[in-house]
A and B are shown apart, each in its own frame.
Chain A
Amino acid sequence: AQKVTQAQTEISVVEKEDVTLDCVYETRDTTYYLFWYKQPPSGELVFLIRRNSFDEQNEISGRYSWNFQKSTSSFNFTITASQVVDSAVYFCALSGQDSGGGADGLTFGKGTHLIIQP
């Protein structure tokens, strides 16, 4: 069974601070995919990034960066110089590869509510 743990239920920081959202996962699959989604107050789910289990390179996209470490089964997300518009619920998710190589459902963490105060 797959599991995703986001231990931080809520984080509150002041604008311009850096903040890291933690994600720890469990899976028996050797091939799997990790995702981050953002859910702003308007409610929609916005895709941020996908990583496969064979690519441990960290990724940076503007103020966002992701640190994937298989050794600790973690896929952490850092926002540098946070802004009020970053306020949202962030979900980490995991998808394994089924025996036929097809898509598996996403297993979501419970989410981290990030509050950026002006």
Chain B
Amino acid sequence: EAQVTQNPRYLITVTGKKLTVTCSQNMNHEYMSWYRQDPGLGLRQIYYSMNVEVTDKGDVPEGYKVSRKEKRNFPLILESPSPNQTSLYFCASSFGLAGAEQFFGPGTRLTVL
């Protein structure tokens, strides 16, 4: 089954404790991205990657890191999480063509205390 998976789905952590949210897709998509969803703000792009070893900042990259060592994986790293990073995070992937449908993962709800 074609899908985007994220782990963990739920995470409660404390300020400053490094964490990684994994994202994996099995559709051989070139393009992957991370979004955060906050009430009243919609979804905002954090980082995206056009292909292996190619990443770029989205609209709200501060406090996040990403890597793309393999085509299928695109982990989101919070080196020192803070309470303002409490949010719902979505990973997405698509073929690298403009206008391609983006397939979203199920979301990861992160709470930073």
Q: Interface of A with B (CB < 8 Å)?
A: 6, 9, 31-33, 35, 43-45, 47, 50, 52, 91, 93, 95-98, 101-111
Contacts and interface: CB of A to CB of B under 8 A. Distances in A.
Contacts of B35: 106, 108
**Among the interface residues B48, B99, B100, B103, which one has the most CB atoms of the partner chain A within 10 A?**
B99
B27 interface: no
A31 B41 contact: no
**Among the interface residues A9, A47, A105, A111, which one has the most CB atoms of the partner chain B within 10 A?**
A105
Nearest to B103: A47
Contact of B90 (A9, A45, A96, A102): A45
Given A43-B88, A44-B107, A106 B102 contact: yes
Contacts of B50: 102-103
A64 B29 CA distance: 29
Interface residues of B, number: 29
Interface of B: 31, 33, 35, 40-45, 48, 50, 58-59, 88, 90, 92, 94-104, 106-107
Contact of B45 (A31, A45, A47, A105): A105
Contact of A103 (B42, B90, B100): B100
A98 B50 CA distance: 11
**Among the interface residues B48, B94, B102, B104, which one has the most CB atoms of the partner chain A within 10 A?**
B102
A102 B42 CA distance: 24
A102 B41 contact: no
Contacts of A108: 35, 42-44
B58 A105 contact: yes
B43 A44 contact: no
A35 B100 CA distance: 10
- 9 closest pairs, A vs B, by CB? A33-B99, A97-B98, A110-B42, A45-B104, A108-B43, A108-B42, A105-B45, A103-B31, A111-B42
Contacts of B104: 44-45
A16 B41 CA distance: 29
Given A52-B99, A102-B97, A111-B42, 5 more contacts: A33-B99, A35-B101, A45-B90, A102-B98, A105-B58
